């Protein structure tokens, strides 16, 4: 009864054996990935599915091959009758399969796997059958209007030089599906005006295709605006290409308030606002003069000390009180002295000795162990998130699990021991043989993993003994040739002034998250390197640009643009500047426990001061991680209720020594009082209508109470809560 089927199977196998050889690496693994066997919900899950595990997205073909061959004692294959192999009968649902139907019996995928089994399930040659690179056509997609489609073609180039059209097996995804939708057969359809990026993946390789759907509205004529510096030249080149007209520069009052809050976290005083607005000098000249006044000022130093304190996790939770104050003062001195960014980074990474004598050593006290230290270091200084690669190759990037442990090995010899004083720790480097921690072990086979740089250095750096590994790492990291170091901080600094990065999130730089304007980011990076990592110089260039100084008022061509810097994007004040702005506008000072009475929110040592109050409600980071995402800029119902009913604003406006009380005691007239309150809160004069309405209100009842009402209303307005 079984002889005829067996003879048929053997004859088919004989015919197939004469065809081109099929290997797991080149032919079968891509099919398993395409039909979903290696996906997270299926056998690629952390613990596999129904007792069978494959690597996530097929990142480890050798593991998958051995699992298929040797799990269940090789029962997944029937070399005599390939069609009866479990590897075919389960996905074809000839026997029960929890994953459902994955292979039709008459499909090409089914025949390829059947042929592979008949040929003896060869693995293939990794030196020939692995994918070297992907090529996509077209390189860029531009659609004149929504509703059009474009076909994507994907070609794999193998290590032996051969190429293959793998469009059907490649995964093509859109980072903005509601703008560029992927249809069957790797077609992309433009749904609405805007820009998106297609992510193309195949066998561990990834490339991207930018997609632009233009605004079909007729009548666009590029009006070449003035360019203050190279920033606007590069932004305008992109805007003209995508048919977006930039907004004009903001008025002096808007600029004054914006640049003060962004550079120093502080509002200008009414007297400063009056002087600036009355200055008859040319706009560019007086704005440049004001920028120079702000950069390097005490408020500037406080503001950027807080930002770096967030990233470096300066907190009593990890460092104790004395350690926190010491680390903060080290950061503050670095900002105040405009220490070059590369030098500051090297001091952090190569610090040794007492955490009290060398406060930079506190950097290592937060994460302590090599793996979290490496993850924090790459995220902060390279903008690269390595955490996914701890368990498997990164699913959306080229970083591998091996690279994760090679990078962590640079920190495996770092040791900490108690010092002589309470809370003091001594940072030192273990020598070979001192401790098992000075060598990193791979979790798969416990082999020792030597340190290796994430990206090969243009000038090879010899990695020395464990005692000097960090020095070699710091030299590599801060090198001008490192393609990530300067780029990461240039992108991060840019985001502080625009609300979003050229690459966003700013600490997630990868091929699948491309910059919206690569030429601009490259130019900023080059500027920073050419000026020897002078961050103040970079900030000055950014805030002097027309892009930064543009109005938030949109036009018909840029009203939907949220990525190309064609207009200013309103941003809610972050926690510390908001609290300091309330205090400044009301002429009062916030009161915090444990610190002197005149301490502002941007001068606090860490998030444990004033914990669970106004600052935490409005998104102050707890410094539990080095991610920018810890600082929130949302606006929620509890925040709105606090502004309206909470004590922070009401106490500030009613302060007996505050702005309103002093004005009433000084006998200021109603128009003068209204003008003073508008300048204090909004950095501008009231309009004629606003002034008349406010004066009418003040004269209709008790002056002090009504003046407090007016100030309260201003502090609860969007014009106050947002940077425009």
What confidence tier does 73 reach under pLDDT thresholds 50, 70, 90? low
What pTM, to 2 d.p., does this model score?
A: 0.89
Contact between 36 and 99 (Cβ < 8 Å): yes
pLDDT digits (tens, 9 = 90+) for 543-559: 999 999 999 999 999 99
Concatenate the DSSP letters of all residues of 474-524 into one string: HHHHT-TT-TTHHHHHHHHHHHHHHSS-SSSSTT--BTTB--S-HHHHHHH
Contact between 143 and 190 (Cβ < 8 Å): yes
How far is Cα of residue 476 from the mean position of the Cα atoms in its chain? 22
497 has pLDDT over 50: yes
Residue with tokens 């200013």: 568
- Would you tell me which CATH number, out of the four given (3.40.1390.10, 3.90.1150.10, 3.40.50.2300, 2.60.40.1080), belongs to the domain 130-213? 2.60.40.1080
434 has pLDDT over 60: no
**The pLDDT of residue 713:** 97
What confidence tier does 5 reach under pLDDT thresholds 50, 70, 90? very low
**The pLDDT of residue 225:** 83
Alpha-carbon span 644 to 26, nearest angstrom: 64
Q: Is the CA virtual torsion 16, 18, 20, 23 positive or negative?
A: positive
15 has pLDDT over 50: no
Express as a percent the part of the chain with pLDDT over 90: 73
* 591: nearest Cα among 677, 682, 681, 655: 655
Question: What b/e sequence results for 442-466 when a residue is b if at least 16 CB atoms lie within 10 Å of its CB, and e otherwise?
Answer: eeeeeeebebebbeeeeeeeebeeb
Domain spans, the chain = 3-124, 130-213, 301-476, 572-723
**Sheet of strand 187-190, all strands in order from the earlier edge strand to the far edge:** 149-151, 187-190, 180-183
| Tokens found for residue 44 | 């690629």
Residue with tokens 């509703």: 147
Phi-psi region of 330 (alpha: psi -120 to 50; beta: other; left: phi over 0): alpha
pLDDT digits (tens, 9 = 90+) for 144-174: 999 999 999 999 999 999 999 999 999 999 9
Contact between 91 and 99 (Cβ < 8 Å): yes
Alpha-carbon span 535 to 541, nearest angstrom: 10
Mean pLDDT of the region 591-596: 90
Task: State phi, psi for 479 to the nearest 5 degrees.
Answer: -65, 145
Contact between 112 and 22 (Cβ < 8 Å): yes
**The pLDDT of residue 56:** 84
Task: State phi, psi for 142 to the nearest 5 degrees.
Answer: -130, 120
642 has pLDDT over 80: yes
572 has pLDDT over 90: yes
Alpha-carbon span 370 to 381, nearest angstrom: 16
**The pLDDT of residue 488:** 98
Express as a percent the part of the chain with pLDDT over 70: 94
- Count the alpha carbons within 13 Å of 630 in the hemisphere toward its beta carbon: 17
Q: State the virtual CA torsion across 432, 438, 439, 440 in degrees, nearest 10.
A: -170
pLDDT digits (tens, 9 = 90+) for 80-126: 788 888 888 888 888 888 888 888 888 899 999 999 999 999 999 99
**The pLDDT of residue 458:** 54
Any residues with CB less than 8 A from the CB of 357 and at least 6 apart, and which?
Answer: none
Any residues with CB less than 8 A from the CB of 2 and at least 6 apart, and which?
Answer: none
10 has pLDDT over 60: no
**The pLDDT of residue 461:** 60
Alpha-carbon span 485 to 457, nearest angstrom: 13
Any residues with CB less than 8 A from the CB of 96 and at least 6 apart, and which?
Answer: 90
**The pLDDT of residue 433:** 57
Alpha-carbon span 640 to 590, nearest angstrom: 19
Which has more confidence, 421 or 456?
A: 421
pLDDT digits (tens, 9 = 90+) for 280-321: 999 999 999 999 999 999 999 999 999 999 999 999 999 999
Alpha-carbon span 436 to 519, nearest angstrom: 46
pLDDT digits (tens, 9 = 90+) for 231-241: 999 999 999 99
Q: Report the range of poorest mean pLDDT among 82-96, 230-244, 458-472, 665-679.
A: 458-472
Residue with tokens 């926690």: 575
210 has pLDDT over 50: yes
* 543: nearest Cα among 255, 254, 237: 255
Rg (CA), the chain: 31
Contact between 616 and 575 (Cβ < 8 Å): yes
| Tokens found for residue 26 | 């080149």
Any residues with CB less than 8 A from the CB of 339 and at least 6 apart, and which?
Answer: 333
Angle at 368 between CA 362 and CA 374, to 5 degrees: 100
Alpha-carbon span 407 to 400, nearest angstrom: 11
What confidence tier does 435 reach under pLDDT thresholds 50, 70, 90? low
Mean pLDDT of the region 56-64: 86
What confidence tier does 76 reach under pLDDT thresholds 50, 70, 90? confident
Mean pLDDT of the region 680-709: 96
Q: Are strands 163-165 and 153-158 parallel, antiparallel or unpaired?
A: antiparallel
Alpha-carbon span 261 to 581, nearest angstrom: 9
Any residues with CB less than 8 A from the CB of 234 and at least 6 apart, and which?
Answer: 517, 519, 520, 523
563 has pLDDT over 80: yes
Alpha-carbon span 708 to 64, nearest angstrom: 71
Q: Are strands 194-202 and 187-190 parallel, antiparallel or unpaired?
A: unpaired
Residue with tokens 């900023």: 524
- Count the alpha carbons within 13 Å of 390 in the hemisphere toward its beta carbon: 11
Alpha-carbon span 704 to 65, nearest angstrom: 81
635 has pLDDT over 70: yes
**The pLDDT of residue 206:** 87
| Tokens found for residue 471 | 């020095």
Mean of the per-residue pLDDT values of the chain: 91
74 has pLDDT over 70: no
Which has more confidence, 8 or 72?
A: 72
Report helix, strand or coil for 700.
coil
Any long-range contacts for 291-299 (C-beta under 8 Å, 24+ apart)?
A: 291/259, 291/263, 291/540, 291/543, 291/544, 292/540, 294/259, 294/260, 294/263, 294/264, 295/263, 295/536, 295/539, 295/540, 296/336, 296/338, 296/536, 297/264, 299/264, 299/265, 299/266, 299/602
227 has pLDDT over 90: no
Question: What b/e sequence results for 548-579 when a residue is b if at least 16 CB atoms lie within 10 Å of its CB, and e otherwise?
Answer: bbbbbebeebbeebeebbbbbbebbbbbbbbb
What confidence tier does 218 reach under pLDDT thresholds 50, 70, 90? very high
Task: State phi, psi for 143 to the nearest 5 degrees.
Answer: -110, 130
Partners of 197 in beta bridges? 210
Alpha-carbon span 207 to 92, nearest angstrom: 32
**The pLDDT of residue 432:** 58
**The pLDDT of residue 392:** 74
């Amino acid at each position: 009864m079984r002889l005829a089927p067996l003879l048929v199977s053997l004859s088919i196998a004989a015919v197939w054996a004469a065809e081109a050889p099929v290997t797991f690496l080149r032919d079968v693994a891509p099919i398993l990935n395409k039909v979903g066997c290696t996906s997270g919900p299926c056998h690629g899950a952390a613990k596999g599915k129904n007792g069978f595990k494959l690597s996530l997205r097929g990142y480890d073909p050798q593991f998958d091959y051995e699992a298929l061959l040797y799990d269940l004692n090789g029962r997944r294959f029937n070399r005599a009758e390939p069609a009866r192999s479990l590897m075919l009968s389960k996905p074809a649902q000839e026997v029960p399969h929890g994953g459902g139907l994955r292979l039709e019996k008459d499909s090409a995928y089914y025949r390829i796997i059947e042929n592979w089994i008949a040929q003896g399930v060869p693995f293939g040659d990794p030196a020939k059958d692995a994918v070297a690179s992907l090529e996509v056509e077209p390189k860029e997609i531009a659609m004149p209007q929504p509703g059009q489609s474009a076909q994507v073609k994907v070609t794999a180039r193998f290590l032996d030089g051969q190429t293959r059209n793998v469009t059907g097996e490649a995964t093509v995804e859109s980072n903005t599906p509601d703008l560029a939708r992927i249809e069957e057969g790797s077609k992309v359809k433009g749904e609405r005006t805007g820009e998106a990026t297609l992510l193309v993946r195949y066998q561990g390789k990834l490339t991207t295709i930018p997609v632009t759907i233009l605004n079909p509205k007729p009548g666009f004529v590029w009006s070449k605006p003035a360019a203050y510096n190279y920033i606007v030249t590069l932004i305008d080149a992109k805007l003209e290409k995508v048919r977006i007209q930039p907004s004009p520069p903001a008025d002096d009052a808007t600029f004054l308030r914006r640049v003060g809050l962004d550079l120093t976290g502080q509002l200008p005083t009414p007297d400063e606002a009056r002087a600036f607005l009355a200055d008859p000098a040319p706009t560019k000249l007086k704005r440049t003069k004001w920028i120079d006044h702000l950069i390097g000022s005490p408020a500037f130093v406080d503001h950027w000390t807080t930002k770096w304190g967030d990233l470096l996790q300066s907190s009593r939770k990890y460092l104790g009180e004395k350690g926190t104050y010491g680390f903060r003062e080290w950061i503050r001195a670095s900002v105040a002295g405009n220490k070059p960014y590369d030098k500051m980074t090297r001091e952090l990474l190569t610090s040794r000795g007492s955490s009290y004598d060398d406060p930079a050593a506190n950097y290592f006290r937060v994460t302590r162990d090599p793996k979290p230290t490496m993850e924090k270091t790459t995220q902060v200084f390279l903008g690269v998130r390595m955490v996914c690669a701890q368990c498997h190759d990164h699913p959306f990037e080229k970083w591998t699990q091996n690279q994760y442990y090679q990078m962590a090995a640079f920190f495996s010899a770092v040791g900490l021991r108690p010092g002589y004083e309470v809370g003091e720790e001594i940072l030192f480097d273990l020598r070979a043989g001192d401790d098992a921690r000075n060598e990193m072990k791979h979790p798969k086979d416990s082999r020792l993993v030597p340190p290796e740089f994430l990206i090969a250095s243009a000038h090879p750096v010899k990695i020395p003994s464990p005692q000097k590994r960090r020095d070699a790492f710091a030299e590599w990291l801060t090198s001008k040739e490192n393609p990530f170091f300067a780029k990461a901080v240039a992108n991060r600094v840019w985001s502080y002034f625009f609300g979003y990065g050229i690459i966003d999130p700013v600490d997630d730089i990868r091929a699948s998250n491309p910059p919206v304007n690569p030429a601009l980011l490259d130019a900023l990076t080059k500027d920073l390197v050419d000026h020897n990592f002078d961050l103040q110089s970079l900030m000055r260039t950014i805030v002097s640009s027309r892009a930064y100084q543009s109005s938030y008022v949109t036009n018909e061509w840029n009203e939907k643009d949220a990525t190309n810097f064609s207009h200013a994007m309103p941003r809610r004040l972050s926690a510390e500047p908001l609290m300091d702005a309330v205090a400044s506008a009301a002429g009062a000072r916030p009161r915090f426990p444990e610190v002197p009475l005149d301490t502002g929110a941007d001068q606090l040592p860490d998030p444990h001061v004033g914990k669970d109050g106004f600052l935490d409600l409005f998104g102050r980071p707890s410094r539990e991680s080095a991610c920018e995402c810890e600082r929130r800029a949302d606006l929620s119902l509890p925040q709105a209720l606090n502004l309206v009913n909470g004590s922070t604003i009401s106490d500030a406006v009613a302060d007996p020594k505050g702005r309103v009380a002093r004005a009433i005691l000084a006998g200021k007239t109603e128009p003068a009082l209204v003008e003073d309150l508008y300048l204090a809160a909004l950095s501008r004069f009231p309009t004629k209508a606003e002034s008349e309405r406010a004066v009418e209100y003040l004269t209709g009842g008790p002056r002090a109470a009504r003046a407090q009402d007016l100030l309260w209303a201003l502090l609860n307005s969007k014009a106050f809560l947002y940077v425009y």
